[in-house]
Amino acid sequence: MSDHWRRNQPQFFNIFDLGWGKVDKVPALHRLETRVVTENNNSGDGTYMVKLPAGWKYTETAEEGGLEIFVLDGDMTGNGQRVGAGGYLAVPRNRGPLELSTEGGAHAYVFWGPQMPDDYYYDNQPFITKVWKEQWTMTDMPEVRHGIMHKSLRWPDPAEGLIHGGPGGMLRFILMTPGFGETRQETHHDCWEEIIFLSGDFSMPERGAHAAGTLLNNPAELKHGGLMTQKGSVMLLHCDTPMGAEFTDIPRGQEIVDHYQDHTSWLADPKHEPWKDSAQYEFHPKTEPTYNPASSA
C-alpha cells in the first residue's frame, strides 16, 4: 500500500489499517502522529488523519495554505471557541491566524489546501462550528434519486443544477438515507473526489463494502457506482473543483441493488471488504475499475 495515497489512482482501503507516521510538509502537523489518507504531489494538497496529544497548541497563520479540521473525538479550541466530537474548524488561505489547542487530546481529519482560492470561502475569516448544529440541505441533482442530504462545511457551496461546489471544490458532511440505491455508474470529468465514511453501511460494485474508516478515491474520468445502503451512511465528501456528473447504466444494476437491500441484515455490523468477497459479486464479477491515469499527481 505504499502508493495508497495517490489521488490520480482509484483507491479503496480502510484508513484505520494505516500506520502512524510524521508529515513535515504541512506546518500544523509537524511532530504529530499522522496517517496520510491522500495527497496530490503537484498541488501540495493533502488529506490526513491526525492524533493530537493532550495540551497541544498551534497557531495557523494560513500563509502557506487553507486548513480544515473535522474532529472525530476529544476536544479542540479555535480562537477561544471550544468544540468536541463533530466539531469543525477552518481558516482560508491568507486569512489567519487560527489559534488551535486541545485540552484532553483529539483525533481528527485534516484537509490541507495550498491551492485554496483566495477571497471566496468562509467570509474570508476563520470559521468554527459544531456540525450537529448545522441545518441539512437536500442534495438535488437532475436524474439523481431523492434520498441524499448534506451540510456544507466549505462554503459558499452552490448546490443546484448539474454542477455543485465553489471554485476550490466542496467539503460536505453527507447523509445517504436508509434504502437509497443508484443503479448507474457516475463519472466526474473535471474533478477528483474522495469520500471518507464515518458510519453506516454502503456498497459499490467493483470496489466493495464500505464501513467507518473506508476511503474511496475517484480520479477524474473514473466510472464508479452504483451506490447502495441498507441502514444509511454518513460520510465526508471532498473534491478539488466544482463537481458535475455523467451517468451510465451498469449491466444488471437493478439486480445488484435489489439483492443488496434484500440480503443485508439489519442485525450485522457494517464492515470493510473487497468486492470479490461481496454477495453481489456474482452479478458483476469484476474487481478493478477501468481507468487510465492521465498524470502522476
Q: DSSP letter string over 19-85?
A: PPB---SSGGGTTSEEEEEEE-TTT--EEEEEEEPTT-EEEE--SS-EEEEEEEEE-EEETTEEE-T
Closest CA to 253 of 279, 229, 225, 230: 225
**pLDDT average, residue stretch 221-234:** 95
Task: Report residue 98: phi and psi, to 5°.
Answer: -125, 110
Q: Is the pLDDT of residue 295 over 50?
A: no
For residue 99, the enclosing domain spans 12-133
DSSP category for residue 220: T
Give the residues across from 110 on adjacent strands.
48, 69
Q: pTM score, two decimals?
A: 0.95
Q: Is the pLDDT of residue 93 over 70?
A: yes
Give the residues across from 83 on adjacent strands.
76
Q: End-to-end CA distance of the chain, in Å?
A: 16
Residues 163 and 259 in one domain: yes
Residues 187 and 267 in one domain: yes
pLDDT in tens, 234-291: 999 999 999 999 999 988 999 999 999 999 999 999 999 999 999 889 888 876 666 5
Please, which pLDDT band fits residue 141 given cuts at 50, 70 and 90?
A: confident
Residues 220 and 256 in one domain: yes
> Where does a domain end: 65, 98, 133?
133
> Where does a domain end: 117, 133, 149?
133
**pLDDT average, residue stretch 152-176:** 94
CA distances from 174 to 5, 78, 150, 190 (A): 22, 24, 4, 21
Query: Is the distance from CB of 197 to CB of 216 less than 8 angstroms?
Result: yes
Total domains, the chain: 2
Cα(274)–Cα(283) distance, rounded to whole angstroms? 15
Closest CA to 245 of 146, 139, 144: 144
